Amino acid sequence: MNKIFYPAVFQTEDNDEFSVFFPDVQGCNTFGVNMEDAYEMAFDALGIMLSYMEDNNMPIPKPSKPQDIVLEENQFIVVIEFDMLAYKKKHSPQAVKKTLSIPSWLNDMAIENNINFSQTLQDALIDKLDI
């Protein structure tokens, strides 16, 4: 996925803050205390949702045309530019190589069962660290 442009609906609230949602990305909502904060929060919310969708082999929704979105009072469109690769480079942890030893019988069984050693170690660490 290269750069993609999603329209976000910004809504001014009574306290001069902004709530934000993406009509094309269900469940992608956020808010900000001012325009700059709302934009940054919208970018991050979009990144989290699209990364999750991509990582879980879910279809990435196509963005609507801004002119096709029907707005209510106190709403306006802000187009959010998103680059998945740039987002993941900034927010995803860098992989590091680890060398470890396991009993040969366990290695053989794991290979026979098509176990992904890296993923298994990551899952075990996440579980062990309770994160």
Question: Read out DSSP for 46-89?
Answer: HHHHHHHHHHTTPPPPPPPPGGG----TTEEEEEEEEEHHHHHH
Q: How confident is the model at residue 87 (pLDDT cuts 50, 70, 90)?
A: confident
pLDDT tier, 90 (very low <50, low <70, confident <90, very high otherwise):
confident
Mean per-residue pLDDT, 45-59:
93
- Whether residue 89 is predicted with pLDDT greater than 90 in this model: the reply is no
Residue 32 · residue 41 · CB < 8 Å: yes
Residue 53's nearest CA partner among 41, 62, 61 is 61
Residue 77 pairs with which residues in a beta bridge?
Answer: 9
pTM, 2 dp: 0.68
Whether the pLDDT of residue 45 is over 70: the answer is: yes
Helix (H, G, I), strand (E, B) or coil at 107: helix
Alpha-carbon distance of 131 to 128, in angstroms, equals 8
pLDDT surpasses 70 at 64: yes
Q: What is the pLDDT of residue 46?
A: 96
Query: CB within 8 A of 71, min separation 6: which ones?
Result: 9, 77
Class of domain 3-91: alpha beta
pLDDT of residue 24: 97
The sheet carrying 3-12 orders its strands as 29-32, 18-21, 3-12, 75-83
Domain locations in the chain as residue ranges: 3-91
pLDDT at 93 (0 to 100): 64
pLDDT band of 1, cuts 50, 70, 90: low
